[in-house]
Amino acid sequence: MGRTLPTVTQVLEMEKDSWAHFRRALRKEDQIAFDALWRWARRHSAPLSMASRAVPLEGIVMAMLLEIAKRLPPDETAADNNHRLDI
């Protein structure tokens, strides 16, 4: 018997494909950044599959935001608590 639900990887690709017209309208440098966001989201496929969100884009955007937060420079106020980001 086959799968009844698509895998996270398939959902990511379907969602990414649905944004193709948007991507095409972006400038080249923005297309590169856009593509990076999707690569970053794919790095979090396991947590995305565990989240089982009714709207898959919610989890995808959260994975993208997580990667962006990891790339932010450390903030001096975060020295008190290593797990806190004051943005």
Beta carbons of 6 and 14 less than 8 angstroms apart: yes
State the pLDDT at residue 74.
80
* Alpha helices (H) along 43-71: 45-51, 56-71
- Asked whether residue 80 carries a pLDDT value surpassing 90, the answer given is no
State the pLDDT at residue 5.
81
Tell me the two tokens of residue 61: 């955007």
State the pLDDT at residue 51.
87
The model's pTM: 0.75
Per-residue model confidence as pLDDT tens digits over 8-63? 899 999 999 999 999 999 999 999 999 999 999 999 999 988 888 888 899 999 99
State the pLDDT at residue 82.
59
